[in-house]
Amino acid sequence: MDHDTSGHAAVMPGKLADPPITARELEATGSGQFNEFTHGTLPRWALVRHRMDPAEVEDVAAAVAAALQPVAAAIPAGARVCLAVGSRGIDRIDEVVRGAVDWIRARGAEVFVVPAMGSHGGATPAGQLDVLASYGITPESIGCEIRSSMETVELGEVRAGVPVFVDRNAFDGADVIVPINRVKPHTDFSGEVESGLMKMIAIGLGKQKGADTFHRQGFATFHELIPAVAEFTLSKVNIPFGLALVENGAARIWQIEAVPKERIWDRERQLLAIARDRMAHLPIDNIDVLVLDAIGKDISGLGMDSNVVGRYYTGPTGSGPSVQRIVVRDLTAETEGNAVGIGMADVVLRRTVEKMDAHKTYMNCITAKTPEGGRVALTVETDQQALFVAIACCLKVEPPDARIVRIRDTKHLELMYVSEPALEEVLATGRCEVVRELESIAFDGAGMFAPDPEYAG
């Protein structure tokens, strides 16, 4: 393997390009804070491609129509159909919804959409419309009305002290309710069913009131409470089937399936196993510093997927790699300031904190009963500071020996930087290949990672 020690430099508008600058050179300038930690030489790293299964749904509308055909009898002509939509970050969800709307209309039925997302969007009708719009779901794009309200109907109690709620627009305005959701491992708990149709029925359709009531029971109860509440709701409301989506490791839709309510418990368990097997994982067991370019609700309900980073607020999850320290560089634009999950980071850049919308973040944390999700870690100004401070917080690690991995976020693991001490292990998996050979970790004159169009995509 050839060793390329060249760096990259940022070009500022109206200025000549700065020469490449390495960590050692930046330290010598004395710029920034935490200079007492920025000593030693960082390892080189290589740009690596993590190969994923490329199979995906190409024609979404056709796949939706094919999935719905076996349950066509549940949508009679003239029926009022409500589509429940709400989870963030689903690949081409606007196309899925539009396909369902067109198919239902072709059956001679009426159709509208309700946001089924618990307390998301700041727990306001306008906020939830904004969330749907961020997915590309608007009345114009999907061709039907969207009815957004936080009002609910109480269906009864599934057990003492656990009332069950459902969106009033869906309950009063529809003959048939159809939830549309991705089936995947959840970030906060483990069970036979996790994120998917049953969770949307149990929590998403319950709006803020239902989600708050549900979360008061604690995540430790979710594995048995979600099925109980979902089955209770199914006994009270006409939900003849749900439209389940499964994504591949590249976060692209791999399967679309209509699941009849009488099979929802068994089939969702099977789909969860399929989703877990197909989701992307970091191809390494031990990481000293994991750098996330961004976190956000569009990436994961937890901002960063605990199944990928191997940790939760309470400690290791038992799945995923062992990571000593996590650095978060930014929030996604799509999260609109909701920084929930920032509490799992150890070092964050100040720009991340400045973009944090306290109301959205706190509302999410309060509803989930996880205030630790909004706690802010050690805050630094630059990437250079973040790397050295994170390494300084590691046990038994010196900068040259640090096993560093940098990824865009926990949903996109196709390209990553891997430092030299960890590179051999990553390549030994047989699932990774070097895109660009080892080179110095280079920063621009401001101490930020030098731009790399090949990595950014």
Does position 8 have pLDDT exceeding 60, yes or no? no
Mean of the per-residue pLDDT values for the chain? Answer: 89
Tell me what pLDDT residue 28 has. Answer: 42
Q: Express each pLDDT in 180-221 by its tens digit.
A: 999 988 777 778 888 899 999 999 999 888 888 877 887 778
Tell me what pLDDT residue 34 has. Answer: 72
For residues 150-156, give the mean pLDDT: 95
pLDDT-based confidence at 457, cuts 50/70/90? low
For residues 309-337, give the mean pLDDT: 90
- Distance CA(306)–CA(302), nearest Å, equals 8
For residues 147-153, give the mean pLDDT: 95
User: Which of 78-82, 210-214, 239-243 bottoms out in mean pLDDT, i.e. has the lowest?
Assistant: 210-214
User: Which of 11-25, 307-321, 428-442 bottoms out in mean pLDDT, i.e. has the lowest?
Assistant: 11-25
- Distance CA(425)–CA(285), nearest Å, equals 9
Domain 60-278: top CATH class = alpha beta
Kindly state the tokens that stand for 3.
């060793």
Does position 244 have pLDDT exceeding 80, yes or no? yes
Q: Express each pLDDT in 388-416 by its tens digit.
A: 999 999 999 999 999 999 999 998 999 99
- Which has the higher per-residue pLDDT, 280 or 42? 42
Q: Express each pLDDT in 427-451 by its tens digit.
A: 999 999 999 999 999 999 999 999 9
For residues 306-333, give the mean pLDDT: 90
Does position 20 have pLDDT exceeding 50, yes or no? no
pLDDT-based confidence at 107, cuts 50/70/90? very high
Tell me what pLDDT residue 30 has. Answer: 38
- Which has the higher per-residue pLDDT, 21 or 237? 237
Which amino acid is it at 173? G
For residues 310-318, give the mean pLDDT: 84
- Distance CA(158)–CA(356), nearest Å, equals 37
What b-and-e string marks burial along 82-102, b requiring 16 or more CB atoms within 10 Å of the CB?
bbbbbbbbbbbbbbbbbbbbb
pLDDT-based confidence at 23, cuts 50/70/90? very low
- Distance CA(279)–CA(285), nearest Å, equals 16
Domain ranges of the chain: 21-52+281-456, 60-278
Positive or negative, the CA dihedral 74, 77, 79, 80 is positive
- Distance CA(250)–CA(39), nearest Å, equals 37
Tell me what pLDDT residue 4 has. Answer: 41
Does position 6 have pLDDT exceeding 60, yes or no? no
Q: Express each pLDDT in 40-61 by its tens digit.
A: 799 999 999 999 888 899 999 9
Residue with tokens 């944090």: 356
